[in-house]
Amino acid sequence: MINFNYEAEFKLDSEQAISDWVVSAVLNEKHKLEEINYVFCDDAYLHKLNVEYLNHDTLTDIISFDYSVGKTIAGDIFISVERVKDNANEFNVSFEEELKRVIIHGVLHYCGYKDKTVDEARLMRDKENYYLSRFKKN
């Protein structure tokens, strides 16, 4: 089950399409979906979580709390809509593309992908691009 929650002046245009896409990605990665809660918020909301739970006094676009057990995916993914907008401008992509990238990025972490090293980050980006291309076909 995919749930969408809003703590900012924002709402997804296509919750069902996003949900179907995420479920498809989880299954394609040979995992089972239990529940993912997406929370769309602003910078202040996400910064507070970053300081309180991760001891990071920085702005970020996404924080995910992973409750997965084995191959069963569960977690909470918090996304700063403000940060996604800024990143889209910085990377010269549409807001929609950057938002989808962040949405799938959290799921890929739950599936075991990391991005701390250059090689891990390259694989993560390849996977993001793969799933972004699959969304466009839906």
Structural domains for the chain? 2-136 (3.40.390.30)
User: What pLDDT, on a 0 to 100 scale, did the predictor assign at position 131?
Assistant: 96
Comparing CA positions, the residue from 54, 70, 135 lying closest to residue 102 is 135
User: What pLDDT, on a 0 to 100 scale, did the predictor assign at position 85?
Assistant: 96
Comparing CA positions, the residue from 37, 69, 76 lying closest to residue 53 is 76
Q: Express each pLDDT in 3-61 by its tens digit.
A: 999 999 999 989 999 999 999 999 999 999 999 999 999 999 999 998 888 888 888 89
Q: Express each pLDDT in 108-131 by its tens digit.
A: 999 999 999 999 999 999 999 999
109 labelled as ligand-binding? yes
DSSP-based three-state secondary structure for 9: coil
31 labelled as ligand-binding? no
Taking the C-alpha atoms of residue 79 and residue 69, their distance in angstroms, rounded to an integer, is 23
Q: Express each pLDDT in 87-111 by its tens digit.
A: 999 999 999 999 999 999 999 999 9
Binning pLDDT at 50, 70 and 90, where does residue 132 land?
Answer: very high
User: What pLDDT, on a 0 to 100 scale, did the predictor assign at position 41?
Assistant: 96
Is the predicted pLDDT of residue 137 greater than 70, yes or no?
A: no
Binning pLDDT at 50, 70 and 90, where does residue 136 land?
Answer: low
User: What pLDDT, on a 0 to 100 scale, did the predictor assign at position 138?
Assistant: 45
* Residue 105 vs residues 7, 9, 77: alpha-carbon distances, Å: 20, 22, 10
pTM (2 decimals)? 0.91
